[in-house]
Amino acid sequence: MKFTDEEYSLIQDYLNDNLTEGNRLRFEENMKNEEFKLEVVTQLSVLGALQDEANASLKEKILTFETEVEKAKETVKPITKTKVIGIGKYLKYAAVLVLLIAAVMVFQWSSNTTLSSDEIYAQAYQTYPATEIKRGKEDEAYTVLKSAMDLYRNGKYTAALTEFEALNMNDPNVNLYIGVCAMETSQFDKAKTYFDQVKESNATDVKQVAEWYSVLVHYKLQETEEFSQGLDEILNNKAHLFYAKAKDLKSTL
């Protein structure tokens, strides 16, 4: 059956809920016609089916939201695991690297602890302290000695050495200071001579000081045999003033 435009329009208005009161009556009248009724039902069925289809497609899409989340969870987990493994590997490498760096640092540190001969000398050497010289008679010699001691005290070893030597006193104490001034000014041979003179004296304390300084002079002059002999002599005497120092020096070597 071919429907008129008016009938077609009635169906469309019904589908879109746009029927006026008059058109509703006309629509209901037409619905008595089976063919018209069938056409309405067909159109509704087609549109209903299309709407169902659209809803079904949307529902499929909605269901993918959940599967996307599940998939994401599944993919994220292994990634996280891989990352952990990766980090583990890196940690291993990092640990090896840290150990290597530590080893190098320890090596460098230990290298640093292996002191040079100069450093050993510097560690062992200590300037003999300046003492007050008391003499009853304030003569010219006393004045020079006082001046020399002042120079010594002030670290002016070259000038002090000159003044001490000018005294020409052959005194173990003065000779000790001359020897120390010689050491301070790197005149080790001169120092050795003066310390030897002190060692030959009877002044026990000053003698032990000279023995210690002699050991250092031998070390500086690389006189190995004399150095070892002098060091052992001090070490054999626990009561020696420089026993502890000698022991330290031996261990450092």
Partner 1 sequence: MDISDKFFLHWALKTKACVKPRNKLFGALQRQCFLMEMTIEEVKAFRDELIAGNTSRLKTIYLAFKDDCVNFLNVKFPSANQNSEDIFNDALIVLHNNIVAGKVTHFTSVKSYLISVCVNLCKRNNHLKNNFEKKIEEIRLHFSLFSDSSIEEEEEKDFMRATSKEALTSLSEKCQTIITYYYLYQMKMKEIAEKLELSSADVAKTLKSRCFKSLIKKVNELLKSRS
Q: Does 46 bind partner 1 (CB under 8 A)?
A: yes
Q: Does 59 bind partner 1 (CB under 8 A)?
A: yes
Stretch of residues binding partner 1 (CB under 8 A), selected from 51-59, 105-113, 138-146, 156-164 = 51-59
The angle at the Cα of 234, spanning 232 to 236, to the nearest 5 degrees, equals 65
Stretch of residues binding partner 1 (CB under 8 A), selected from 65-73, 84-92, 121-129, 135-143 = 65-73
Q: How far apart are CA 215 and CA 245, in angstroms?
A: 11
What end-to-end distance do the CA atoms of the chain give, in Å? 124
Burial status of residue 150 (CB atoms within 10 A of its CB: 0-12, 13-18, 19 or more): middle
Residues composing the chain: 253
SS3 141: helix
Q: How far apart are CA 81 and CA 59, in angstroms?
A: 33
Taking the complex as a whole, the smallest distance from the CB of residue 41 to partner 1 amounts, in Å, to 6
Residue closer to partner 1 (CB basis): 73 or 238: 73
Taking the complex as a whole, the smallest distance from the CB of residue 40 to partner 1 amounts, in Å, to 7
List 18, 20, 25, 47, residue binding partner 1 (CB under 8 A): 47
Backbone angles phi, psi at 206, to 5 degrees: -65, -35
Q: How far apart are CA 134 and CA 166, in angstroms?
A: 19
Q: Does 62 bind partner 1 (CB under 8 A)?
A: yes
Q: Does 185 bind partner 1 (CB under 8 A)?
A: no
Q: Which residues within the stretch 5-24 sit at the binding site for partner 1 (CB under 8 A)? A: 8, 12, 14-15
List 40, 149, 151, 206, residue binding partner 1 (CB under 8 A): 40
Q: Does 224 bind partner 1 (CB under 8 A)?
A: no
Q: Does 98 bind partner 1 (CB under 8 A)?
A: no
Tokens of 229: 């002999």
- HSE-up of residue 190 (Cα within 13 Å, Cβ side): 16
Identify the H or E element spanning 100.
helix 34-113
Residue closer to partner 1 (CB basis): 31 or 144: 31
Q: Does 2 bind partner 1 (CB under 8 A)?
A: no
Taking the complex as a whole, the smallest distance from the CB of residue 86 to partner 1 amounts, in Å, to 18
45 with 68: CB under 8 angstroms?
Answer: no
Q: Does 48 bind partner 1 (CB under 8 A)?
A: yes
Q: How far apart are CA 75 and CA 132, in angstroms?
A: 89
Residue closer to partner 1 (CB basis): 43 or 185: 43
Q: Which residues within the stretch 112-151 sit at the binding site for partner 1 (CB under 8 A)? A: none
For partner 1, the binding residues (CB under 8 A) are 8, 12, 14-15, 31, 37, 39-56, 58-59, 61-63, 65-66, 68-69, 72-73, 76
